[in-house]
Amino acid sequence: MVKNTYKKLPPENPAASNEQTVKAGITMLDEKNYRVDANFRWLGSRMKETEELCLTVCGIERCRPDKTFGPIIRDDYHVHMVLHGKGYLKMNGKTYTVTDGQIFTTFPDVEVYYYSDPKDPWYYTWISFGGIRAAYFLEKAGITLEHPVRDAYMDSGTFLNIAEKILNHHELIIENELLRTSFLYEAIALLVKSYSEQHPRKNLNSYPSDVYVNSALDYIHRNYARIQVSDVAKHIGISRYYLSRIFKNKMNISPQTYLLNYRLEQAGNLLRTTNMTVQEISDEVGYTNSFSFSESFKKLYGFSPKKYRDHLKKEKPEA
């Protein structure tokens, strides 16, 4: 049983239908937005369709054996984590059996009907939301209209804990609105992470390749003296093989060669603009051996570092 930390409110009129309850809840930020009874905790707020993600409803319910919901068509996504028991979901022309340790999701503009198993009624928590990137994030979590049910791949209590944090910050103040939004992102991140850990190849490349290459360039430019290509790949969150392939496709050079050349370019800048010794510059740009540095520099510029500096001095016009 979930521990309630708020004063118990009178239960809703039992004659009211489930559909009326939920439709009222989604739009009631400024009215009765939080409700508790013996088996049920629920929070509702307004949809903000222009936001990336927007919390609309959150709740926890230990359902009765005769509990049914729908048929109904909603405007938002509802992600349910089944904590115990069993139930059935009818959606998009299919019927799914959902048991504890599984997640089922309903989708906007799709008629849905779900109900408890009469012998083993389910106990679930749910977080509902909309937003312009909601479908994208759910797809990365392995949740689509074609696949609305998936295994949790996590301790269901972790998801329950996030729902409780949302419910425990129900007061209508700005800081709680921000916290509830952060908890929503935490829940979605948990769904994506748990899925990608079980299906690493499916979620390996979450962004366009240019995003990864630009991130790699930025990381190299800021940390060139103390990193290897494997560090770049690890920082971005992709494999070294994939980084090498997309980097070469865009830059016409491997990340390893780019990193080495960038170190030498910075060494050239130091030779031109400072009085640092060759050994000091070698250390500054990430070489542990000044001889190796000199050899690499000569291959790129055609001069050893010392001769390169001497050549610059000869070309510099006298004052």
Q: What is the pLDDT along the chain (319 residues), one digit of tens a residue?
A: 333 332 333 333 333 333 333 332 333 333 345 555 555 566 666 666 668 899 999 999 999 999 999 899 999 999 999 999 999 999 999 999 999 999 999 999 999 999 999 999 999 999 999 999 999 999 999 999 999 999 999 999 999 999 999 999 988 888 998 999 999 999 999 999 999 888 766 555 567 889 999 999 999 999 999 999 999 999 998 889 889 999 999 999 999 999 999 999 999 999 999 999 999 999 999 998 889 999 999 999 898 999 988 888 776 655 4
Which tokens hold the place of 172?
């209508």
Query: What's the pLDDT score for residue 113?
Result: 97
Q: What angle in degrees, to the nearest 10, is found between the helix axes of 305-315 and 255-273? A: 50
Considering the four listed CATH numbers 3.40.190.10, 2.60.40.10, 1.10.10.60, 2.30.40.10, the one that applies to the domain covering 209-315 is: 1.10.10.60
Give the position of tokens 């994208």.
136
Contact call for residues 92 and 110 (beta carbons, < 8 A): yes
**Domain map (residue ranges) of the chain:** 18-198, 209-315
Query: What's the pLDDT score for residue 48?
Result: 62
Report cis status (omega within 30 of 0) of the bond before 71.
Answer: yes
> Nearest-CA neighbor of 127 among 26, 192, 56, 190?
56
> Nearest-CA neighbor of 298 among 308, 313, 289?
308
Query: What's the pLDDT score for residue 170?
Result: 85
Query: What's the pLDDT score for residue 26?
Result: 33
Contact call for residues 115 and 124 (beta carbons, < 8 A): no
CA distance linking residue 79 with residue 310, whole number of Å: 69
Query: What's the pLDDT score for residue 198?
Result: 85
Give the position of tokens 């031109």.
272
Secondary structure class of 46 (helix, strand, coil): coil
Which tokens hold the place of 116?
């408890």
* 18-198 CATH: 2.60.120.280
